Chain A
Amino acid sequence: MNREFSHEGRKTLDASGPVMINNGVVTINAANMHYRDLNLLLKTHSNLAKRINIYNVYGQRYIGTGLRNNVEIHVYGTPGNDLAAFMDGPTIYVHGNAQDGVGNTMNSGKVVVYGCAGDVVGYAMRGGRIFIRDDAGYRVGIHMKEYGEQKPVIVIGGTAQDFLGEYMAGGILVVLGLTLSHGETHKAKFVGTGMHGGIIYIRGQVTHVGKEAKITELEENDVALLKPIIEEFCSYFNFNIDEVLAGEFKKIVPLSTRPYGKLYT
């Protein structure tokens, strides 16, 4: 029977089974565990634990989704879609690749991925930071927002695909191109399509921007803004900050805050 139709309520797990608690560190063995059970464990333990390690993660969705505290979670394996969706506070380290929808509508907190991520990283992200060591898929940072102090940041260490920063309304999106070989350009097309706020920084060559965005050179204050972000990125992945900063950066910003203002009468 399809369990999600059964409305049977939450399953209670035998705490002595897949969970070990030692000195404030909770260790979960997620092998053969349904995401609903895994997330119930996370919700149960995250308010008290300093750190939660989850081993044998095989594509479970929604890890960290809706969590609202400051726990540190280490994911070993491959988490499924919507990792850290609607998340508000925790820091998640993924020791492996992530899939689609990392940080979907995330409010605050941090996600660090020691590998690649799939499509729509940081969809409508409202705050917090996402660091992907290697490449990411399509529509990274779509609908990213900001207001006042709440300013989300996404850094992709490698390259990203088409529609990067689509409909972006705020926040900072950085693509470093560290996985590209010498002289190789980013292949993303339609970068910043529908963009009406926020900034995209790209290290390396980008050839195709959406008609609502433009490529410009960095200014003094851009460097000041970028440096601490890249410093943090390098601190997770052991990159040399000077080497990263030495690359050629371009900035992509919206042409107007009302790209579709003249469309209607």
Chain B
Amino acid sequence: MKSYIEPEFIVKRDYEKCIKCKVCINECTYGVHYYDDKNDIIRSRDENCVNCHRCVVFCPTKAITIEKNPTQYTENSHWTREVITSIKRQAETGGAILTGMGCDKPYYTYWDKILLNASQVTNPSIDPLREPIELRTYLGAKPDKLELELENGEVLLKTKLAPQLCAEVPILFAAVSYGAVNFNVHLALARAAAELGTFMNCGEGGLDKRLYRYGDHIIVQVASGRFGVNPEYLNVGAAIEIKIGQGAKPGIGGHLPGEKVTQEIAQIRMIPVGTDALSPAPHHDIYSIEDLRQLIYALKEATDYTKPVAVKIAAVHNSAAIASGIARAGADIIVLDGVRGATGAAPKVIRDNVGIPIELALASVDQRLRDEGIRNRVSIIVSGGIRSSADVVKAIALGADAVYIGTAALVAIGCTLCQKCYTGKCPWGITTTDPQISKRLDPDVAAKRLINLVRAWSIEIKEMLGAMGINAIESLRGNREQLRGVGLTDTELKILGIKMAGE
């Protein structure tokens, strides 16, 4: 069948600058560039281009630019190019459209409608360059009350505390599974987490034994497919996260395309080589909050109650009630992943249409847990499109204890959000398990870039805290007085629990 789909991007090559070095040919994993030896010229197959910018960045003479195909269908605000192309593709294949990364639609990003406060005259701001500002965050259940006892003039803590994760910054690396990404990416995340004193989540595809040495900085995940889950894995991590859902595909399970299931991945996941790794939406031993409690306590039993157990859900309409159930089921940490949360592979229709913005879910969950008097029993980590230190500060002021960054972390190491992770050909060597392409990701360089990013954000967070006159991130948590909304309706302001700017 002849395809009616037109190239989405056009590769422009400045032939005055091109020195025919063929770097572009070697760097492109989609076979866009090729050498026409008859005419001694490099040409492009535009239809293969995914706009990943690998060739653009690596061209030594900067001869390449990628443009959106200027040939557009007749202008129509309803029947957009994306809509028309999707229909044509489905008519040609009969398949559901697969995509990668998070929802790219112009739905509200509430972070951009929330502004932060600062001290002026009546309350002094703090200069973070001279005064200490504390970013350390403890994640885990906190007791309802503290009992102290006096012994030989010393005050001792009598209450036995639940296990905690101690993060030096309230920023953790979100779950990306081994299989969705390759070993080098996992290694870089683990090294960066260890150096920063924070945590990386290894995702649902198990953990390579070579990373066990970073276990104190790794949160191990348990999803419905239970890939790579054994007692050693559970005990090597600093905490365990039960993945119920993820923001990119609420209600949909994990789906690692067979193209990425190499020998290495098959071995750790214990499935046949080349098969799709299926991790369906429900855990078939969890149909209720009571069942969730059963798994939480099975994991606690298996690890002698030494590690916090987190439960990750996608932000959906009734997240607040579910979160209350999760807290009561005995989880130590609740992870909320919003509609912008990313993935290596999801049906596009789900990614772009299911779930709610993390800002609204976070505000309602925090409020619900406070209203019920159980907010102390769980920490809240939010994720799903956290782009900057400002998003982090706003999230914490809205009620989060910490954030996970996934997309931002991958962007730091090269990702350009081309959304083609599911092909397994990521030219940046990130979302590929091909041994050759994986080599492009140097774990030392990638770890350095991740460390730099989080350090930079930490400086910025301290600046913002100092400006507010707050010297510890703890004092910002749920401190919605520091937030004001602009361009929001009364209902939105009410759900976010913040005042309008000027109020």
Flag if A39 contacts B301 (CB, 8 Å). yes
A157 within 8 A of B: no
Stretch with Cβ within 8 A of A (4 or more), from B87-95, B175-183, B208-216, B335-343: B87-95
Cβ-defined contact, A86 with B234, below 8 A: yes
**Cross-interface CB contact of B95 among A43, A166, A167, A263, cutoff 8 Å:** A263
Question: Are A7 and B258 touching (Cβ within 8 A)?
Answer: no
Contact B141–A86 (Cβ < 8 Å): no
Question: Contact between A104 and B272 (Cβ–Cβ < 8 Å)?
Answer: no
Contacting chain A: which of B37-45, B223-231, B354-362? B223-231
Q: Which of A30-46 contact B (CB under 8 A)?
A: 35-36, 39, 43
Given the known interface contacts A7-B141, A107-B231, A196-B275, the answer about A66 and B258 at a Cβ–Cβ threshold of 8 Å is no
State the main secondary structure of chain B at its contact with A. Answer: loop
Q: Are B271 and A196 in contact (CB under 8 A)?
A: yes
Whether A260 pairs with B226 at a CB distance below 8 angstroms is no
What 0/1 readout, one digit per residue, does chain A (123-167) give for beta carbons within 8 Å of chain B?
A: 110100000000000010011011110100000000000000011
Number of B residues contacting the other chain (C-beta, 8 Å)? 50
Per-residue interface assignment for chain A, residues 50 to 66, with 1 indicating a CB less than 8 Å from any chain B CB and 0 otherwise? 00000000000110011
Residue A72, interface by CB 8 Å: no
The yes or no answer to A243 lying at the interface (CB within 8 A) is: no
Is B2 among interface residues, defined by CB-CB distance under 8 A? Answer: no
Which residues of the partner chain B approach A61 to less than 8 Å between Cβ atoms? 294, 297-298
Complex Cα spacing A86 to B94, Å: 41
The answer for the CA separation of A263 and B257 in the assembled complex, in Å, is 11
Chain B residues in 8 Å Cβ range of A265: 89-90, 93-98
Whether the pair B231, A7 counts as a contact (CB closer than 8 A) is no
Decide yes or no: A169 and B272 within 8 Å by CB, A139-B284, A265-B98 being known contacts.
Answer: yes
Contacts A86-B229, A88-B231 supplied; 12 other A-B pairs, CB < 8 Å:
A61-B294, A61-B297, A62-B301, A65-B302, A82-B285, A85-B302, A86-B298, A105-B230, A107-B230, A146-B270, A196-B275, A264-B95
Interface positions of B (Cβ within 8 A of A): 89-90, 93-98, 141, 143, 160-162, 224-226, 229-232, 234, 255, 257-258, 266-267, 269-272, 274-276, 278, 280, 284-285, 294, 297-299, 301-305, 330, 347, 377, 422
User: Which 3 A-B residue pairings sit nearest by Cβ, starting from the closest?
Assistant: A66-B302, A265-B95, A124-B226
Residues of chain A having any CB pair with chain B under 8 Å: 4-5, 7-10, 35-36, 39, 43, 61-62, 65-66, 68, 81-82, 85-88, 100-101, 104-105, 107, 120, 123-124, 126, 139, 142-143, 145-148, 150, 166-167, 169-170, 194, 196-197, 257-265
CB<8 Å pairs between A and B, sample of 30 = A5-B330, A5-B377, A61-B294, A65-B298, A66-B302, A85-B302, A86-B229, A86-B231, A88-B230, A105-B229, A123-B284, A142-B284, A143-B225, A145-B226, A145-B271, A147-B266, A166-B284, A167-B225, A169-B272, A169-B275, A194-B280, A196-B278, A257-B275, A258-B276, A260-B255, A260-B276, A261-B258, A262-B95, A264-B97, A264-B347
